[in-house]
Amino acid sequence: MNRIAFEEPRSAPAATTNIIIRDALESDLPVIVDIYNATVPTRMVTAELEPTTVEARLPWFREHSLDQHPFWVAENDFCVIGWLDFKKFLPRCAYRGTAEISVYVDEKFRRQGVGRRLLEKAIVRAPSLGITAIVGLIFAHNEPSLKLFGRLGFHRWGFLPRIAQLDGNKCDLVIMGRHLPAR
């Protein structure tokens, strides 16, 4: 498989000193989708095989709610450069305290602490959202993401071998999880 090298050098943090994290607006969706779509051809991140559209993603965006499954963007100098969302891990009631999160940073702004800041905020805010466990579903070959989650106290809770097929290659999925104190 042609994989893009993901060992981006760590850049000077100056570019992201003005970063703020705020609730996402529907008007942010085109940039959110662009950031997402840029990862599709890498076959490193998402099981989506073709780029998606704003229209296709609108229902997904609207499923989020401020009080349990928020959607945040990281903004630098009024430009959205990354995002993080919470979603239900599984629909059954007993899992209501567990959320799945996804985090994406614009390629141009990686290795500047944006992903870490988004994830740190998720960890801090989760208890007040009624969330006591967070999981990330990450391809086993997505090293940057596994490292990011590992660095923030997530552990490998699950391993699903050869569960995804990407261009003829069978890929493993890792479930990274972290418990949080109940509020």
Ligand X SMILES: CC(C)(COP(=O)(O)OP(=O)(O)OC[C@H]1O[C@@H](n2cnc3c(N)ncnc32)[C@H](O)[C@@H]1OP(=O)(O)O)[C@@H](O)C(=O)NCCC(=O)NCCS
The stretch near ligand X (CB under 6 A) out of 19-27, 56-64, 87-95, 104-112 is: 104-112
Per-residue x/- track, 59-98, ligand X (CB under 6 A) = ----------------------------------------
Considering CB under 6 A, how many residues would be counted as binding ligand X?
26
114 touches ligand X by CB under 6 A: yes
Told to check if 177 binds ligand X by CB under 6 A, we report: no
Per the CB < 8 A criterion, the answer to whether 122 and 86 are in contact is yes
Q: What are phi and psi of 57, to 5 degrees?
A: -90, -5
- Judge whether 68 and 131 are in contact, CB under 8 Å: yes
Q: Is residue 156 near ligand X by the rule CB under 6 A?
A: no
Contact flag: residue 16 with ligand X (CB under 6 A): no
What is the smallest separation between the CB atom of 15 and ligand X, expressed in angstroms?
11
Is 108 near ligand X (CB under 6 A)?
Answer: no
CB 101, CB 89: distance < 8 Å: no
Check binding of 32 to ligand X (CB under 6 A): no
- The total number of residues written for the chain in this structure: 183
Q: Which residues bind ligand X (CB under 6 A)?
A: 6-8, 10, 39, 45, 102-105, 110-116, 136, 138, 142-145, 147-148, 151
